[in-house]
Structure 1
Amino acid sequence: MQGSCVVLGLLCCLVARVGSYTPWDLSWSARGDPSAWSWGAEVHSRAVSSSHPVAVQCQEAQLVVTVHRDLFGTGRLINAADLTLGPAACKHSSLNAAHNTLTFAAGLHECGSVVQVTPDTLIYRTLINYDPSPASNPVIIRTNPAVIPIECHYPRRENVSSNAIRPTWSPFKLCPVSRGEAVFSLRLMSDDWSTERPFTGFQLGDILNIQAEVSTESHVPLRLFVDSCVAALSPDGDSSPHYAIIDFNGCLVDGRVDDTSSAFITPRPREDVLRFRIDVFRFAGDTRNLIYITCHLKVTPADQGPDPQNKACSFNKARNTWVPVEGSRDVCSCCETGNCDAARALRRLNPWSDGTAARFRRDAGKEVAADVVIGPVLLSADPGAVGQQQEGGDGAAVTEPSVGTGLVCVAVVVALAAVGVAVGIARKGCTRTSVAA
Structure 2
Amino acid sequence: MGLNHIGVSALLFVALGLVEAQWLMWKFQATTGPPPEPSERQMDPVPTLSVTSECNETAVHVEVKKNLFKNGKPINTAALTLGGCAAKEDTASQVLIYESELNGCNSRLTVTEDELVYVFTLGTASEPLSGTPITIECHYPRFHHVPSSTLMPSWKPDDSPQAVAEPFFSMRLMMDNWIFERTSNQYQLGELINIEASVLPFNQVPLRVFVDRCIASAVPDITTVPRYSFIENNGCLVDSMIIASSSHFMLQTQEATLRFQLEAFKFQQGNSSLIYITCFLKATVASASPDPEHKACWYNGNRWTAAYGTDQVCSCCDSRCSLQMEHDQSGQEPASQITLDPILVEGEI
TM-score by length of 1: 0.42
Q: Which structure 1 residue ranges, 4+ long, deviate > 6 Å from structure 2? A: 175-178
Question: What per-residue deviation string (whole Å, max 9, x for no partner) do you get for residues 152-178 of structure 1?
Answer: xxxxx9xxxxxxxxxxxxxxxxx8776
In 2, the alpha carbon distance for the partners of 1:365 and 1:307 equals 18
Match of 2:318 in 1: 336
Question: What per-residue deviation string (whole Å, max 9, x for no partner) do you get for residues 368-388 of structure 1?
Answer: 1011111201123689xxxxx
What is the Cα deviation at residue 365 of structure 1? Answer: 5.7
Match status 1:262 vs 2:247: yes
For the structure 1 residues 280 and 117, does the alpha-carbon distance in structure 2 shift closer, same or farther, using more than 3 Å as the test?
Answer: farther
What is the Cα deviation at residue 276 of structure 1? Answer: 0.3
Match of 2:180 in 1: 195
What is the Cα deviation at residue 329 of structure 1? Answer: 1.9
For the structure 1 residues 223 and 275, does the alpha-carbon distance in structure 2 shift closer, same or farther, using more than 3 Å as the test?
Answer: same
Match status 1:366 vs 2:332: yes
Match of 2:123 in 1: none
Q: Alignment partner of 1:234: what SS? A: coil
Alignment of 1:175-324 (within 5 A): 179-268=164-253, 270-317=254-301, 320-324=302-306
In 2, the alpha carbon distance for the partners of 1:336 and 1:203 equals 31
What is the Cα deviation at residue 119 of structure 1? Answer: 7.3
Equivalent residues of 2:218, 2:272 under 8 A apart: no
Question: What per-residue deviation string (whole Å, max 9, x for no partner) do you get for residues 244-295 of structure 1?
Answer: 1100000000001112111100143x21100000100011133220101010
Rg larger for: 1
Equivalent residues of 1:176, 1:182 under 8 A apart: no
What is the Cα deviation at residue 216 of structure 1? Answer: 3.3
Residue identity matched to 1:244: S
Question: What per-residue deviation string (whole Å, max 9, x for no partner) do you get for residues 383-410 of structure 1?
Answer: 9xxxxxxxxxxxxxxxxxxxxxxxxxxx
Equivalent residues of 1:118, 1:185 under 8 A apart: no
What is the Cα deviation at residue 121 of structure 1? Answer: 4.2
Question: What per-residue deviation string (whole Å, max 9, x for no partner) do you get for residues 164-210 of structure 1?
Answer: xxxxxxxxxxx877611211110000111121113433111211000
For the structure 1 residues 192 and 286, does the alpha-carbon distance in structure 2 shift closer, same or farther, using more than 3 Å as the test?
Answer: farther
Equivalent residues of 2:252, 2:259 under 8 A apart: no
Q: Alignment partner of 2:283: what SS? A: strand
In 2, the alpha carbon distance for the partners of 1:267 and 1:302 equals 12
What is the Cα deviation at residue 218 of structure 1? Answer: 2.2
Aligned partner (choices 374, 378, 382) of residue 344 of structure 2: 378
Equivalent residues of 2:237, 2:298 under 8 A apart: yes
Q: Alignment partner of 1:370: what SS? A: strand
Equivalent residues of 1:295, 1:372 under 8 A apart: yes
Q: CA RMSD in A?
A: 3.4
In 1, the alpha carbon distance for the partners of 2:225 and 2:303 equals 31
Q: Alignment partner of 1:333: what SS? A: helix
Alignment of 1:18-417 (within 5 A): 117=12, 120-121=15-16, 179-268=164-253, 270-317=254-301, 320-337=302-319, 339-342=320-323, 366-380=332-346
Residue identity matched to 1:223: R
Q: Alignment partner of 1:239: what SS? A: coil
Equivalent residues of 1:116, 1:373 under 8 A apart: no
Question: What per-residue deviation string (whole Å, max 9, x for no partner) do you get for residues 86-140 of structure 1?
Answer: xxxxxxxxxxxxxxxxxxxxxx99xxxxx79557449xxxxxxxxxxxxxxxxxx
Higher helix share: 1
What is the Cα deviation at residue 367 of structure 1? Answer: 2.5
Aligned residues: 202
In 2, the alpha carbon distance for the partners of 1:302 and 1:207 equals 28
The runs of 5 or more residues in structure 1 that have no matched partner are: 1-30, 33-107, 110-114, 123-156, 158-174, 349-363, 384-437
For the structure 1 residues 237 and 378, does the alpha-carbon distance in structure 2 shift closer, same or farther, using more than 3 Å as the test?
Answer: same
Equivalent residues of 1:251, 1:314 under 8 A apart: yes
For the structure 1 residues 199 and 241, does the alpha-carbon distance in structure 2 shift closer, same or farther, using more than 3 Å as the test?
Answer: farther
Identity within the alignment, %: 40
For the structure 1 residues 236 and 218, does the alpha-carbon distance in structure 2 shift closer, same or farther, using more than 3 Å as the test?
Answer: farther
For the structure 1 residues 116 and 316, does the alpha-carbon distance in structure 2 shift closer, same or farther, using more than 3 Å as the test?
Answer: farther
Equivalent residues of 1:252, 1:315 under 8 A apart: yes
TM-score by length of 2: 0.52
For the structure 1 residues 262 and 217, does the alpha-carbon distance in structure 2 shift closer, same or farther, using more than 3 Å as the test?
Answer: same
